[in-house]
Amino acid sequence: MPRVRGNKIQLPLTWNVVTDKQASRPMDRTVLIVTYLLTLIGLIIMFSASGVMAETRYGDSTFFLKRQSLWLLTGLVALHWVAQRDYGVWKTLTPYGLFLTFLLLVLVLLPFMGTQVNGARRWFRLAGFSIQPGEIAKLAIVLYLASFLVRKEQDLMTLTRGVLAPMAVVGLFAGLLLLEPDMGTAVVLTLLLFGLLFLGGARLPHLLLLGLVLLALAYMLIMQSDYRRRRLLNFLDPWKDSADTGFQLTQSFVALGNGGWFGVGLGEGRQKLFFLPEAHTDFVLALVGEELGFLGTGLLIALFAILIVKGFKIAGQAPDAFGRHLACGITLLVGIQVLINMSVVSGLLPTKGLTLPFVSYGGSSLIVSLVAMGILLSISRAGPPDRPLSSFGMG
Amino acid sequence: MNRSFTKEEVKAAGEGTGRRAFIGLCFLFGFIILFLRFGYLQVLQAETMKLKARQQHEKPITLASNRGAIVDRQGKPLALNLDVSSVYATPSSIDDPAGVAHQLTQVLGVPREPLEKRLRAERDFVWVQRKIEDAQVKRLNDLDLPGIDVVVESRRFYPKGTLLAHVLGFAGIDSQGLEGLENGYDKHLRGQVRQVVLQQDALGRIIIPENRRKPQPLSGHAISLTIDEVIQYMAEEALDQAVQATKARGGAVLVMVPKTGQMLAWALRPTFDPNHIPQASPEQWRNRGVTDPYEPGSTLKVILAAAALETNSITPDTLLYAGDGEVPISGTVIHDHEKAGWLTFREAVQRSSNVAFVKMSWDLGKEQVYQFLRTFGFGEKTGIDLPGESIGILRRPDQWSLRTLPSLAIGQEIAVTPLQLLTAVSAIANEGWLMKPFLVREISDQQGRSVWEHVPHIRRRPISAETAKTVTDLLVNVVERGTGKRAAVPGYRVAGKTGTAQKVDSETGTYSSTKFVGSFVGFVPADDPQLAILVVIDEPQGPAWGGVVAAPVFRKVAEQALRYLSVAPGDESRMVASRSSS
């Protein structure tokens, strides 16, 4: 039924299958449009970045384009399907999802199951496609934390049940990820834990304590692994060893600077010609900078900023605590990855091995991100909290 | 926890509006920082990074042109380029230098240890062996050794082998002209070396955008010579036969077109094959035609006769006393080989009387002799387009001893290059005009368009046409009745002069009694000279007389060349007598 907001009349999109009585609005268009824009820009720049490399490696310049297009299509279908459904169903799915993800994370470590690339065992290879359980774990942890915050709202103020319990779960997952190793994803999970506990209302001293413990752990991890230490130390002055450890970062700078204000033109970038490693995955933003200039990187920053702001807004308008925590978690998930990836590309953080959501090549990351957006859109459809918060304690 | 919370407290905290706003602001702050950071990297750092980008994206490449060909006056190739293969190694991608070196040694036959050392070098590129045979390329391809590759290079090839070798010279392994015309005209043959900036990827591979063509090397200019391959062949063959027959140390046959200074042939012995320079020595490839002055002996009398006639101090019929057959000069004596009594000047030339010429030179005087020798081009370069030309040795009169003037009269105490002598004699054949000799007729570009043509250049006129005519008659007389009889070409009037010079013994500094240079210089047909030819036979064994060892070579070359050039004899009646047909 039409609702009057301001002086505009908005109709629910006709193809929205209203499955939930809470659904009283059309999904958030800004989020939808921004998501579409980001994936489209990503697809184009990813093709530009990977074409020559794919031609050299596979004799087919559209090798990555074809795969990514297929993932994108699948992801968008999933996004709309999820967006039209009640997000409440995810709460019931959470325990199974969590267990399944745990299983996958264990299985991927087994030599005969996981495929090793560049010394890391992060992927299952199935019929020519790769599946990365680490990406699925991100969403699983978001769901877990959202439902945890709802279920254990009373315990949140306590250290053991409120803080240490979810920390143990996240720590288990992060530990498995570190075994792959995939430090980037482990860091994202840890930050998610932090962010959601903070937003969920945990006590600041607890979080401070937790933070100190994690910092100590991180320090130990970094100092124990030689390559992590070199990465960390190197990012402080990449030009010192630009031929070796600083190579990727300095090449990223060259790409960005070469782009200038308006870029060298789509497809005209030179840095993707094997100068810039991972030009189509982790460092795709540097390619955006080279081919589309500061205009391109600025636009991406702006689009992501809009998405994040919108995400928190949707959280604030969510009708129940689960929706609110879930929207926060999804927004955090995207925001954390974007901030880290962009900081890495611009040399503000040491190299992590994190992709730029929606833009970088990678099927698991793209589908998980789009499903997450679908959930966010589903929450946006739910009405404002103009009714009593009846969902307390619902399981 | 010892404190309990009210439901409202928990709810307020759970809704966390304040905390969410805080986190949101943190993110916004992060995005602003990133925006500024990217602005810094992409705008403020742009110039620096663009420079770095250019440095690594662009690859300046030196594109050497294909070396231009050298062809004779008929366009027949004398020097051209062949594509050959060279082997190089990328040491960084060789895991087993010893094994690779061993296999390469077997295929290429290069010494193993220095090769292995090069394969261990800390470099990305080392030559293994330049310019190898096709069969070796095939064997290398079959071996498929890692880090060993073959590139096609251009190699200079001289299809005629030793023919004209001294004039052509040769080019080095990097196609740089080292000797002869290859050196003298290197700038033209080599063409432009262009610096082209190409785009490269991180592996150093050249990226050619689809809308652009790969830059092709230009070709250097081709040079056409005045040399005629056929006459050159005649000259070389005749010289070879003479050198072999007389067991001489070496020799020279130079053929010039007297009216223009164009060189038609330039044969020297000993010689070398420019295709096999490592086996040759500088002794062999030195172009003695311009680099090595020698004492011309009696052939120089041509010039002195011209000088005397030009100054009117003598006529062909002037009587000179040569009766004693010897003339004393400051302690020594100059001899004739026979006592002649009174001679006309014509007879003195005919017999090549030393005594008569010594006396004549005294009449002429130091200054005049010196001046005429200078105006005929002795003591200066002829200006031929070859590198390394010598000016010979001609001292100034104030450095002369009492013996110098009479010595000069018989072609001693002066050293001339074969080319200087031929050029001077050609002036007599050319109505007194002294020309600049030259070898390159034309330079043409890649498409065969002429970019430069050599115009004959008159240097000066040492004698009048009249004097030249008189000298010619004297020289015709030499061939018809005197020392040069064996130079006579049936059907043609030949003008020429013999010379037999003692060589200076380098150990004692005196004239050797065993080492001679027999020579003949002349031109034909005498009435309308088409060819001027100098023959020099160096240190023949046995009789060394120029009229015996050199004059027949002149005859052979002149006869063949005249027929080849279809030159009409100057005297109709004699032509009919000697050649019944045509």
Q: Does A30 touch chain B (CB under 8 A)?
A: no
Q: Side chain identity at B13, as an amino acid letter?
A: A
In degrees, rounded to 5, the angle at the alpha carbon of residue B414 between the alpha carbons of residues B410 and B417 is: 110
Give pLDDT tens digits along chain B (582 positions): 444 555 555 555 545 678 888 899 999 999 999 999 999 999 998 888 888 888 888 877 666 678 889 999 999 999 988 877 888 887 777 888 888 888 888 888 888 888 888 888 777 677 888 878 888 888 888 888 877 877 777 788 899 999 999 999 998 877 788 899 999 999 888 877 667 777 777 776 666 665 566 666 677 889 999 999 999 999 999 999 999 999 999 999 999 999 999 999 999 999 999 988 888 888 889 999 999 999 999 999 999 999 999 998 899 999 888 877 788 887 788 888 777 788 899 999 998 899 999 989 998 999 999 999 999 999 999 999 999 899 999 999 999 988 899 999 999 999 999 999 999 999 999 999 999 999 999 999 878 889 999 999 999 999 999 999 999 999 999 999 988 999 999 999 999 999 998 888 777 778 888 889 999 999 999 999 999 999 999 999 988 888 899 999 999 999 999 999 998 876 544 443 343 333
pLDDT at residue number B162: 92
Over 80: is that where the pLDDT of A236 sits? no
- Over residues A135-180, the pLDDT tens digits come to 999 999 999 999 988 887 777 777 777 788 888 899 899 989 888 8
Q: Report A:148-177 residues touching B (Cβ under 8 A).
A: 149, 153-154, 156-159
CA-based nearest residue in chain B for residue A200? B14
Nearest CB partner across the interface for A254, out of B31, B39, B53: B53
> How far is the alpha carbon of A125 from chain B, nearest alpha carbon, in Å?
29
Residue B337: which region, alpha, beta or left (left: phi > 0; alpha: psi -120 to 50)?
alpha
Give chain B's length.
582
> How far is the alpha carbon of B38 from chain A, nearest alpha carbon, in Å?
7
Closest residue by Cα to residue B251 from B556, B538, B549? B538
Q: Does A23 touch chain B (CB under 8 A)?
A: no
pLDDT at residue number A335: 95
Looking at domain B229-274+289-578, which of 3.40.47.10, 3.40.50.970, 3.40.710.10, 3.40.1180.10 is its CATH number? 3.40.710.10
CA-based nearest residue in chain B for residue A156? B10
Q: For chains A and B, count residue pairs whose Cβ atoms are closer than 8 Å.
A: 142
Nearest CB partner across the interface for B50, out of A258, A315, A346: A258
Q: Give the separation between CA B23 and CA B26, rounded to whole angstroms.
A: 5
- Indicate yes or no: CB of B201 within 8 angstroms of CB of A305: no
Q: Does B453 touch chain A (CB under 8 A)?
A: no
Nearest CB partner across the interface for B49, out of A154, A253, A274: A253
In chain B, where the domains are located? 62-221, 229-274+289-578
pLDDT at residue number B521: 96
- Indicate yes or no: CB of A305 within 8 angstroms of CB of B28: yes
Q: Indicate if B298 belongs to the active site.
A: yes
CA-based nearest residue in chain B for residue A196? B20
Q: Does B28 touch chain A (CB under 8 A)?
A: yes
Whole-number CA gyration radius for chain B: 37
Q: Report A:348-377 residues touching B (Cβ under 8 A).
A: 348
Q: What is the DSSP string of A289-332?
A: HHHHHHHHHHHHHHHHHHHHHHHHHHHHH-SSHHHHHHHHHHHH
Which chain A residues are closer than 8 Å to B24 by Cβ? 308-309, 312
Which chain A residues are closer than 8 Å to B203 by Cβ? 274
Q: Report B:53-72 residues touching A (Cβ under 8 A).
A: 53, 56-57
pLDDT at residue number A387: 43
Nearest CB partner across the interface for A256, out of B33, B42, B207: B42
pLDDT at residue number B551: 94
Over 60: is that where the pLDDT of A14 sits? no
Q: What is the DSSP string of A334-372?
A: HHHHHHHHHHHHTTSS-------TTTSS-HHHHHHHHHH
Q: Write the CB contacts of B522 (distance below 8 Å, at least 6 apart in sequence).
A: B425, B475, B479, B484, B487, B494, B495, B496, B497, B532, B533, B554, B558
Of the residues A273, A314, A332, the best mutation for testing chain B's interface (the one with the most B CB atoms within 10 Å of its CB) is A273
> How far is the alpha carbon of A264 from chain B, nearest alpha carbon, in Å?
11
Determine the average pLDDT of the residues in A101-130.
79
- Indicate yes or no: CB of B31 within 8 angstroms of CB of A308: yes
List the single range of A81-90, A273-282, B68-77 with lowest mean pLDDT.
Answer: A273-282
Q: Are A85 and A19 in contact (CB under 8 A)?
A: yes
Question: Could you say which DSSP state residue B183 is in?
Answer: H
Q: Does B146 touch chain A (CB under 8 A)?
A: no
Tokens of A181: 């190793």
Question: Could you say which DSSP state residue A163 is in?
Answer: I
Phi and psi at residue B573, in whole multiples of 5°?
-60, -40
Which chain A residues are closer than 8 Å to B31 by Cβ? 301, 304-305, 308, 339
CATH architecture designation of domain B62-221: Alpha-Beta Complex (3.90)
Tokens of A363: 């099927």
Residue A329: burial class (beta carbons within 10 Å; 0-12, 13-18, 19+): buried
Instruction: Please indicate whether residue A298 or residue B174 has the higher confidence score (pLDDT).
Output: A298
Question: Could you say which DSSP state residue A38 is in?
Answer: H
Omega into B270 within 30° of 0, i.e. cis?
yes
- Indicate yes or no: CB of B23 within 8 angstroms of CB of A274: no
> How far is the alpha carbon of B26 from chain A, nearest alpha carbon, in Å?
10
Residue A21's pLDDT band, with cuts at 50, 70 and 90, is: very low
Alpha helices in chain A (DSSP H): 29-58, 63-83, 89-107, 133-151, 165-179, 183-200, 204-224, 226-236, 247-259, 284-317, 321-345, 363-381
pLDDT at residue number A310: 92
Q: Are A278 and A340 in contact (CB under 8 A)?
A: no
CA-based nearest residue in chain A for residue B205? A273
Q: Does B201 touch chain A (CB under 8 A)?
A: yes
Burial B506-543 (b: 16+ CB within 10 A, else e): eeeeeeeeebbbbbbbbbbbbeebbbbbbbbbbbbeee
| Catalytic annotation, pick one of B85, B224, B298, B426 | B298
Q: Give the separation between CA B573 and CA A348, rounded to whole angstroms.
A: 106
pLDDT at residue number B8: 53
Whole-number CA gyration radius for chain A: 21
Q: Does A42 touch chain B (CB under 8 A)?
A: no
